[in-house]
Structure 1
Amino acid sequence: MITAVDHVQLAAPPGSQDALRAYYVDVLGMTEIPKPPVLAARGGCWFQAGAAQLHLGIEPDFRAAKKAHPGLRVRDIEAYAARLLAHHAAVSWDDGLPGHRRFYSEDPVGNRLEFLEPLPEPGPSG
């Protein structure tokens, strides 16, 4: 039985690792984690924040994912959006998911990323 998502892999073009590191570490605040040596030879880089892992693999005929995307849950979404904007990353708010605040952005190679935070549960009325 499936118990959790271990990681999400996104593709990236050759030569993009430095830009990806700058974005995922400096802008998003993730930590780069080492790839096993046999996989490191293929290029790319892996990042983690809490239990969430994103793996960026090198793809010679890369095309950015414009629809497919990871959904990353964040705390204090307004401050997180401000962090991205301060690093000149685009933030596109979307109110289409009931019970959540969310926005979309793109990494430096154009992969779509969703950031979301559940709204607080309404308290008892009266």
Structure 2
Amino acid sequence: MTAENTGPGFGIGPLHHVQLAIPAGAEELCRAFWGEVLGMTELAKPPVLATRGGCWFSGGGLEVHLGVEADFRPATKVHPGILVQSLHDLAKRLETHGHEVTWDDNFPGHDRFYAFDKLGNRLEFLEPRT
């Protein structure tokens, strides 16, 4: 881990993971989206956490943890901003799998779009402009 010194005696490094909420029993929808559509690898959850439900995925140095929340409501405003390569190819893949892509050119130095996972959680995908 590369950490930047930000205060006396400690540093902050890159994110380890992002967690999104899902309703109970939605693991297969998550596998279809995060695994099949986005091509991320499902990780085995530690046994003590596996009993809680949900699932974890990894790809491109990012982990996404999908955790069961009893009063699930999709995150329609808050969202992870995920850096990708070949943003336009990803947009085509999402659209091919029935996910609407909304382009937004208001982030300086980046191309980006928003999409939603199969449960309605908002996701931002962006790529630095060359």
Shared fold per TM-score greater than 0.5: yes
Q: Give the equivalent residue in structure 2 for 1:77.
A: 87
The number of residues matched between the two structures is: 120
Q: Deviations over 1:79-108 (max 9, x none)?
A: 110011111111110001011000000111
Q: Counterpart amino acid of 1:29? A: G
Match of 2:108, SS state, is: coil
Q: Counterpart amino acid of 1:105? A: A
> In 2, distance between residues paired with 1:81 and 1:9?
22
2:100 to 86, 90, 104: 90
1:66 to 49, 55, 76: 76
Q: Counterpart amino acid of 2:35? A: V
Q: 4+ runs of 1 displaced by more than 3 Å? A: none
Identity between Structure 1 and Structure 2 (%): 55
What's the Cα RMSD here? 0.7
Alpha-carbon offset, residue 50 of structure 1: 1.9
Give the TM-score normalised by structure 2.
0.90
Q: Deviations over 1:18-71 (max 9, x none)?
A: 011101011111111110000000000001112101000000100111111111
Residue correspondence of structure 1 range 6-45 to structure 2 within 5 A: 6-45=16-55
| Structure 2: runs of 5+ lacking an equivalent | 1-10
| Structure 1: runs of 5+ lacking an equivalent | 121-126
Give the TM-score normalised by structure 1.
0.93
